[in-house]
Chain A
Amino acid sequence: MIAVAAGPNRIDPYVIPALDGVAYGLLVFVAAAGLVFCFGVANILNLAHGMLYAIGGYTAAAVLDGGWTSLALALGVGVLAAAAAGVLLAGLLTPVATGNHLTQALLTFGVALAGGSLLVAGFGPDDPQVLVPAALDGSVQVAGHRYAAYRLVFIVVAAALAAGLYLTVRRTRAGMLVRAAVDDPEMVACLGVSPTRIRVGVLAAGGALAGAAGVLGAPIIGPGADTADTVLLLSLVVVVLGGLGSMVGTLLAALAIGEIQTLGVALLPSAAPFLLFAAMAAVLAVRARGLALRWVAT
């Protein structure tokens, strides 16, 4: 535990939880972004999204051995595996792509149930240990406190990922197509882009993002039997809190969730279990009517 500084600065003890909150929030953002895309573009509520993250997490646990090479390998394998799972999911969804959302939700839930079971069968029922690169295993000084180096690096990497995502959606042709598909799928189809390809691409991209979050976030939300559920819940809450509106909104919501989960526990330990719910209720009560479906438009 971090020794509470008895110095004159009263916010001092909360620096570390606040920083942890940023790391947690960015992790949730990268994980949730895939869900936002999937729902916004392909119009599919993907209840198997948490499982895609878990694939990344288990890959990290299996591949990481404390070296940099293994981190690169884990990232490559995890992203590919989760993207492949996304493609598989898109294939499974093909016959019901134009069906109703209930059917899609049930299908993706069935996949999540079976996939989660396969992951536990493959990697064992115990939560595996994750070895971060030895160079990042230590701690660094932050504002007079010791802080895990890995988390600090994670914050930088995840922030870069978030920025990259924003720029991709804003500036590239793929991003433009994605935004166009949200606004007017028929028009995009007229441009010669098949809706099936968009769906496959979006689920693959969502999977890749979730897989990357799973590998990099394994030391923060580690792989285990509950991981898929936890990540799905956090993603849904973030997506709803973000106003179902913008990437920026989603990012802010994710950071808020991160702070609630870490700073909230430090400040109000007895109320902590209820804070997440209270925050969601408060936001939705105020702006529930504003939940317009402008998903990926920034």
Chain B
Amino acid sequence: MRDEVLRRVRAAVATLVLAGLLVAPWVVDDYTAAILARTLALGLVGVSVALLTGVAGMPTLGQTAPYAAGAYASAVLGSQVSDVGVVQVAVAALAGATLAAVTLPLVVPARGVIVLMITLAVGELAVTVLGRWRSVTGGTDGLAGIAGVRPFWGLPVLVTDQARYLYTLVVVATLVGAVLLLLRTRAGVLLRAGRDDEMRLRASGHRVPLYLSGAHVAAGAIAGAAGSLLVVAQQYISPADFGFDTSALLLLGVVIGGTASVGGALVGAVLVIAVRDWLFGVLPGHAPLVLGALFVATVYLLPTGVTRARRPRPIPAPRPPDATPTRDRDVTPELRV
């Protein structure tokens, strides 16, 4: 009964938020519409972080790497090959997926906090490469003057901030919908099962590293697609868009929103990014200080995140009486939020 009410409330809230997002461009000014579009793109990266952190149990600080790969691929493609949005999103997703696939040997064998460290290093190295590979990325100056995008063959090029926002919203909604559907299938069940009890799943003949690899590549593709949307939203990219602070903010947003819930992660990431942008506006120069304090406060107020509350009901599993508790600190169970 309570579950039913909760589900209805959640559905109502989701509908309201979606409706609000749809009418937003006619309510707010151009500048805000552009900021909203960028925030949505970052929210999509948040979804990929949630997919890895919450669903697959691989906490990541490095999703900015495929995000950046997608953004630069899309920008280069847009100015030299095709201005069709669908093509750009697809190529960006491919770039993100490729980068994620390349880093698989680093990420998949690791667990827990080691994943955090490795992905953090990957993300930071990606930014270093972006800053130095001047011939392609424009170095730290970034790429400006990126050509406008037309959503589909035959459609006009999007020139207003409203149009670009709506384009971003449609792509984000489509991709998030696809992720939600995918997680309802067997693939989603297996991923969660691997997160909750890897040994059991392995013992029953499942190839957990294969599932983790799939999740990692898929999350890379989503982050790459988000990169393409960032290019459309702000028409300028530089390595500063993909810094360590962005990864950490996204992770904070995802933790606040509930790592195991993709929708919650999207809301949390959007919320945190919005607060950051707002702070930068009202407190020029002191934003990082306030943001850092907010971080600390959030951790104290939500020590286990909202995640615990949103955890799906555990399925009671019969345990063998002689099961020995694991002492492997490498596989810290509480990390598998």
A residues neighboring B (CB under 8 Å): 39, 43, 45, 47, 92, 95-96, 99-103, 105-107, 109-118, 121, 229, 232-233, 236-237, 239-240, 244, 272-274, 276-277, 280-281, 284-285, 288-289, 291-293
Contact = CB atoms under 8 A, between A and B. Distances in A.
Contact of A99 (B53, B248, B294, B304): B304
Given A101-B113, A113-B248, 10 more contacts: A45-B116, A100-B334, A102-B335, A109-B252, A116-B292, A117-B286, A233-B125, A277-B125, A277-B129, A289-B109
Contacts of B291: 110, 113-114
Nearest to A125: B285
B160 interface: no
Contacts of B244: 229, 232-233
Nearest to A237: B121
Of the candidates B61, B102, B120, B330, the one having the most CB atoms from chain A within 10 angstroms of its own CB is B120
B311 interface: no
A43 B329 contact: yes
Interface in B285-305: 285-286, 288-289, 291-296, 298-300, 303-305
A273 B129 contact: yes
Nearest to B259: A102
Contacts of A114: 288-289, 291-293, 295-296
B141 to A, nearest CB: 16
10 contacts: A45-B116, A100-B332, A101-B112, A103-B255, A114-B293, A116-B288, A229-B243, A240-B114, A273-B129, A289-B109
Contacts of B245: 113
Nearest to A293: B330
B125 A276 contact: yes
Contacts of A237: 121, 125
A257 to B, nearest CB: 11
A273 B292 contact: no
Nearest to A280: B121
A272 B255 CA distance: 36
B292 A112 contact: yes
Contact of A102 (B109, B329, B337): B337
Contacts of B292: 109-117
A258 to B, nearest CB: 16
B117 interface: yes
Nearest to B295: A110
A280 B332 CA distance: 24
B114 A110 contact: no
A142 B289 CA distance: 46
A103 B305 contact: yes
A240 B125 contact: no
A102 B251 contact: yes
B206 interface: no
B109 A288 contact: yes
A16 B204 CA distance: 57
A268 to B, nearest CB: 13
A45 B295 contact: no
A272 B125 CA distance: 12
Contacts of A101: 59, 112-113, 116, 332, 335
Contacts of A293: 329-330
B145 to A, nearest CB: 24
Contacts of A105: 59, 61, 113, 116, 248, 251
B179 interface: no
Contacts of A43: 329
Given A101-B113, A105-B116, A240-B117, A96 B299 contact: yes
Contact of B248 (A106, A121, A277): A106
Pairs A-B, 10 closest by C-beta atoms: A110-B295, A114-B292, A113-B292, A273-B132, A117-B288, A117-B289, A101-B113, A288-B109, A233-B124, A285-B105
Interface string B115-155: 01110111011001101110000000000000000000000
Contact of B337 (A100, A112, A244, A289): A100
B105 A281 contact: yes
B121 A292 contact: no
B13 interface: no
A43 B330 CA distance: 10
A111 B113 CA distance: 18
Of the candidates A107, A236, A293, the one having the most CB atoms from chain B within 10 angstroms of its own CB is A236
Nearest to B293: A114
Contacts of B335: 100-102
Contacts of B124: 229, 232-233, 236
A273 B118 CA distance: 18
Nearest to A114: B292
Contacts of A100: 304, 332, 334-335, 337
Contact of A280 (B116, B125, B300, B304): B125
B121 A102 contact: no
B298 A95 contact: no
A50 to B, nearest CB: 10
B121 A240 contact: yes
B110 interface: yes
A45 B300 contact: no
Nearest to B103: A281
